[in-house]
Structure 1
């Protein structure tokens, strides 16, 4: 009997130690999960600076979450999300569908880069869409949580964002425009919960549409025409060249309208 009690005591100590280790390392576990799953879903490098958790109150925060660029794009990143705050319904934590009351993304920075006939934002969205379709069709397992609890997000806000446009014709400069506030409600509610990949696809689609709308408001064609006019006035010796560049700018500006959204 004494040996049995000792054995049970050892097992209990191991379990307690395991739980203590899990709770003391939750931040690093979540950080690893976000980076690995995010990179797999988007097919670009996803990095996370840190995680802050308040398990008692069901609150958490992600710091310096950054989504890199696909191959062929030169800017430092596509998204730098800054601070992400999450409030969870603690009564749902042990259920099959976890309810998240609110997700707030404050001050995200987006670099909308044009390269050839594609943009980095649309390329990432295509990657996420392809991953979601593959998982839905049973072609691959969803390591990001498709086989675990699903999510319902009651409110998701993206606030105070900025979009910078980068393209070869800007010669290293960037043009900026504010990103309108995005508010999504009841993500996954009608389908009995959504996987993290499905949530990512929905959020990225909304951000992509908002970015396209913001970028479309920029007078990129006018800026290029202005560059042609500056060269036109540089002197009579180069006036003909200025006219030619102005015409090229007009043509490039027309083509640019077709690129917005790709």
Structure 2
């Protein structure tokens, strides 16, 4: 066989193997990213027990995600997600923007302290501060003509159904409120994408808006009785 063609075949096979390795290790990457990065973004402890990814279907799962409350809060946890499902475009993983076609869960539990959700407000403030700092870094990198090594995402649809809100006043649990559905769509596009911090910021904002709306409705309803 011609040496030139042998070299091309070797390069082709090496590329295919690299792609397969990247795709098959995606479950580990999801877990590692969340456990090593997210606590810096939220300013609280965060732990994801397990994640998996199917190379054939593009389906990913996350199991037992715990987000702790800020120090000094009357409850230890801000959020528990027993499990979640994602559909990821497999071929996008090796590109600059990873396309998450959908993310859904029906077992999210929120621990909401006070009418305004002061624990979530504190976490949100930390996320915004981190996001502002990250955007400044990215702007500085690009302005100097350097390569931006951040990974970007396009989240096309997020659906949280039957979210259970544990409503607390200080350390006393007042009630449980069910939010039938929280949705968020089109964060980042397939060309530019959004950073992981952008996803966190927009997701938390949507959750906070929905929780505050339903908690206020519950308070109004209770006061009328």
Q: TM-score, normalised by structure 1?
A: 0.67
Alpha-carbon shift at residue 84 of structure 1 (Å): 1.3
Larger radius of gyration: 1
Alignment of 1:133-148 (within 5 A): 133-138=132-137, 147-148=149-150
Task: Report the equivalent of 1:70.
Answer: 70
What value does the CA root-mean-square deviation take over the aligned residues? 3.2
Of residues 153, 164, 176, the one that matches 1:162 is 164
Which residue is equivalent to 1:123?
122
Alpha-carbon distance, 1:97 to partner: 1.2
Q: Any idea what SS the aligned residue of 1:218 has?
A: helix
Give the Å deviation of 1:106: 2.0
Question: Hey, what does 2:203 align to over in structure 1?
Answer: 203
Structure-2 residue corresponding to 1:175: 175
Going from structure 1 to structure 2, the CA distance change for 1:20 and 1:33 (only over 3 Å counts) comes to same
* Structure having greater relative contact order (Cα 8 Å, sep ≥ 6): 2
1:94 CA drift (Å):
1.7
> Could you tell me how far 1:182 is from its partner in structure 2?
1.4
| Structure 1: gaps (5+ residues) | 1-17, 227-262
Per-residue deviation, 1:190: 8.4
Q: Contact (CA 8 Å) 2:24, 2:54: kept in 1 or not?
A: no
Please identify which structure carries the higher strand content.
Answer: 2
Deviations 1:41-90 (A, max 9, x none): 10100011211221222111000111110012021311112211111112
1:174, distance to aligned residue in structure 2 (A): 3.2
Pairs aligned (count): 201
TM normalised by structure 2 equals 0.78
Q: CA deviation at 1:21?
A: 9.1
